[in-house]
């Protein structure tokens, strides 16, 4: 009997070891940093959305399933062709950075599952880009409205993804590519506009220079008028006398005639060496 009991105990231990080895992966679970878990209870009410499992070691019943989500920020790149406001094909490269909301993993799992990037984020990105790009002309997209387009896509995506438990970090337009003919026409137009602005600037400078010269001429004319009004005969005679005295002291020979018709003329220098 003792030998039979030993065999029985041995079989029990063996079965127990097999059971432990079989269910060890499902029973003992480690959630790594940057991850969160949501538990599906097969016999206890289904998905437990209220309790989110944080990083660490966890023990669960072997019949339950732990769904582990990477909650770190993900970069999603989309290269797509959309229509502008006038119906032209525009190639757009967009990058979106987003992550699941930490406390709403259960709701995200229930609505979209682990493949939420493909079933939720990418479709929303495509939809928002098409909707916003369709409001602008190719010229606006190429030159003046790119930052505005990026901001509008960001706002639209933030609202749509936020209502589905995804936190949007950033939206970046990497590139907007227009058809070659359209791009060339826009560049020619922009170049012409810049040239027109250059000519307008030159004309403004010329106008300012002309105004400056007019003001300068008017100032000189006014100065001459004031000077002419102040030059009386008496002042001219005094200036003539001063000049005569200076010439008289000069060592050079000269002939000076003092006085003119009526005795009121200025000194005249007739010659000298």
Q: Which residues contact 157 (CB under 8 A, 6 or more apart)?
A: 96, 124, 125, 128, 168, 171
| pLDDT exceeds 70 at position 192 | no
CB atoms < 10 A from the CB of 12, how many? 10
pTM of this prediction exceeds 0.85: no
Per-residue pLDDT of 13-28, as tens digits, reads 777 776 665 555 557 7
Give the chain's mean pLDDT.
Answer: 78
Question: Quick one: pLDDT at residue 128?
Answer: 92
**What per-residue confidence (pLDDT) applies to 75?**
93
- Domain spanning 74-178: CATH superfamily: Band 7 domain (3.30.479.30)
Asked if residue 258 has pLDDT above 60, the reply is: no
What integer pLDDT is reported at residue 108 of this predicted model?
A: 93
pLDDT band at 181 (very low <50, low <70, confident <90, very high): low
pLDDT tens for each residue of 30-69: 889 989 999 998 887 888 888 888 999 988 888 888 999 9
Name residues whose C-beta falls within 8 Å of residue 132's C-beta, 6 or more positions apart in sequence: 149, 152, 153, 156
Residue 69 belongs to what H/E stretch?
Answer: strand 65-70
In the predicted structure, residue 11 carries a pLDDT above the cut 60? yes
pLDDT digits (tens, 9 = 90+) for 148-180: 888 999 999 999 999 999 999 999 998 888 766
pLDDT of residue 270: 47
Among left, alpha and beta (phi > 0; psi -120 to 50; other), residue 240 is: alpha
The token pair at 260 is: 């003119």
CA end-to-end span of the chain: 163
Question: What are the residues facing 77 on neighbouring strands?
Answer: 95
Lowest-confidence pick of 97-106, 116-125, 204-213, 233-242: 233-242
- In tens, the pLDDT along 88-139 reads 788 889 999 999 998 899 999 999 999 999 999 999 999 999 999 888 887 7
Query: How far, CA to CA in Å, does 167 sit from each of 31, 67, 74, 98?
Result: 21, 20, 11, 6
Pick from 92, 175, 184, 78: which is nearest to 121 by CA? 78
């Amino acid at each position: 009997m003792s030998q039979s009991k030993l065999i029985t105990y041995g079989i029990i231990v063996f079965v127990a070891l097999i059971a432990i080895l079989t269910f060890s992966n499902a029973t003992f679970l480690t959630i790594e940093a940057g991850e969160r878990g949501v538990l599906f209870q097969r016999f206890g009410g289904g998905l437990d959305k209220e309790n989110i499992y944080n990083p660490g070691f966890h023990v669960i019943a072997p019949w339950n399933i732990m769904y582990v989500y990477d909650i770190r920020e993900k970069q999603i790149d989309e290269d797509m062709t959309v229509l502008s406001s006038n119906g032209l094909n525009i190639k757009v490269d967009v990058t979106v950075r987003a992550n699941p909301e930490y406390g709403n993993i259960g709701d995200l799992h229930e609505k979209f599952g682990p493949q939420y990037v493909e079933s939720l984020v990418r479709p929303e990105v495509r939809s928002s880009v098409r909707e916003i790009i369709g409001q602008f002309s190719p010229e606006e997209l190429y030159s003046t409205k790119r930052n505005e387009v990026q901001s509008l896509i960001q706002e639209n995506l933030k609202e749509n993804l936020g209502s589905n438990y995804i936190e949007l970090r950033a939206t970046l337009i990497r590139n907007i590519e227009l058809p070659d003919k359209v791009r060339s026409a826009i560049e020619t137009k922009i170049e012409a506009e810049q040239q027109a602005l250059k000519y307008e600037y030159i004309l403004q400078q010329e106008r300012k220079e002309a105004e400056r010269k007019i003001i300068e001429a008017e100032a000189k004319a006014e100065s001459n008028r004031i000077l002419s009004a102040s030059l009386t005969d008496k002042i001219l005679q005094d200036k003539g006398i001063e000049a005569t005295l200076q010439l008289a002291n000069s060592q050079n020979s000269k002939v000076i005639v003092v006085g003119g018709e009526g005795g009121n003329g200025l000194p005249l220098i007739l010659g000298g060496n």
